[in-house]
Structure 1
């Protein structure tokens, strides 16, 4: 195997590990009587989304260019190599084309981990009240009709460059700037955050636990363990596509400094707003910084990454309370962290990207091309996710019965509990 393939496989393993980390993070935030149910939403996403990605998702996200033909920039062919059978056969046979086939299989493995974590992130908005199998149905439909095509819009490329309409937006509109989204501020975080908002609206508020006083994490150490695993895996998330030493080192450093600064930004605001800095606040700040640096990791100097972290942490410390003002029950703050920090990180590049931002290169076009995909992905994801969730809710039902919700989802849905004290 080539060094590039080895590195990408290592990064794929790191990103896959992020979803169990997310399960710990989310699991610690909910009540003890629903922690198994919460973690099962993440593990269910691993099982289903990985299968769908290998069968046809990677093909949907593989787009072709063509300046006069928009359709290939919007959706690929799901049956172009169903189940990656052709690539596997060529790689197994060896000889001519084996390296290219191995590259395809490696990219498919890496892409699967992104599809999994994006879908799993959404589950935080429906904690304590969603049925398991309707969630799996939503996860499959969201992946198919939202994540797979959006991933192609942002990440798809060939030997001549980016092929998706977002990745190639600058050229398509005659701009002097190109969209910068290195690791998925739009495709992952804005996408998941907008879908989470749609689900929170469709499912409505929890019967208990919506107020600040009721929303008490049952296991703070579990939250911190989950956040630590997420941060560890994020190095693979951000550096996976970096094959050169220079950009890779910059990405790695920015993935340290931005979330570190975001912890400070979050807990300082938390201290002045609520009277104390909390461990959950520190973990949430780290996540906000990791989200914000995702699109920007290769295109900011460490100083600007630090500023981005402070900004994202501080803003998200306020944003997580918006649900109480507007009445949507985003249980575990997917909107307040991932949507908000994803928008901040993506738009920050318009002003401070190395050599091309408005204040670092005098280029207002960078602001424009960053804003268009932010709006497009948010609107598309919210709209399609809302329709999918609503159809599921009115047909088979998405939400558990009220007595099951009060008793706890672990026993009602999964026949057990997280903790045995006998």
Structure 2
């Protein structure tokens, strides 16, 4: 098989690494890929930008399967375009991708189908939104409706912060059209969990649970980021929690997908909050998480390409997705100053001295050297029989890697 993999982050490097393990796969074209996919087994980076360019490439090179990493292309309708040309692609349609692409659409979907989630209101009028925050309970969560590269969620701990957040999004348009409509929702207190899963529109199979560490600082302090590290399985996802998730979130979601007749064959990611009152859905993602993918896929025993084929053929009901009886930990190495301003272009050394697997994100290859090219630069993932062993191995691995200004949290998985 020849596979086209779309994306250039740590998630896509982890996908390329896992896909390359399939005996069915001969070649993986990564668009645009990064410095990690450039040297990964069976991989070649290709520089394609538009959906039309990607579809043309798939046709001309007789690509057997296209796998979409990021949400933007899915929300822009890449699956619809590929299917209209008879090209095999893994991901939800443009309409189904609104479950991530529009927070208002997804919250209304949750309410309509009885998915357990926080109370909320949708607003496209500034004055109405401000009147709502004047009387709602505090703290409160203010969300931009559209895609905002992880920057569209503000937790306001005072009424003044909530008013400022609404004005920033709706009046000042700090996130452009993403903040034209906003969602204001009840703040839930608890522990977050990420549950990646796969669906063929008829069945949803959850993968092993994971836990992201969003804040930049140790002890979960400071600004939110795209994720500073992950562990799997999530120790808070007990049998009781997973039963609650299945009954009150996953099954009603599947019913909604069927009743809305959404063309949904792909990954569905459930971001949930485990509270004293049970498990609540925070959000859907219509693709794998980053850096959750970097711990979930290394623990997967099944051939990912076989699993994807089963979804495309609407045959998930007849398979099992198997995972190792082990733990994984991923520690993210970030640029100095992230998630605010940071510099790029520093040489990365010591990768060969690390026994753990390094997944590259903000990395480019230039003249045979690996250079930093983003805020979250790389993730070091290790597996162990215990969480403590996985943590120790991941930290031993990242300590060997160096670049100017490198920063990482020391408490991932604690």
Q: Same fold (TM over 0.5)?
A: no
Higher relative contact order (CA 8 A, sep 6+): 1
Higher helix share: 1
Structure-1-length-normalised TM-score? 0.28
Structure-2-length-normalised TM-score? 0.28
Higher strand share: 2
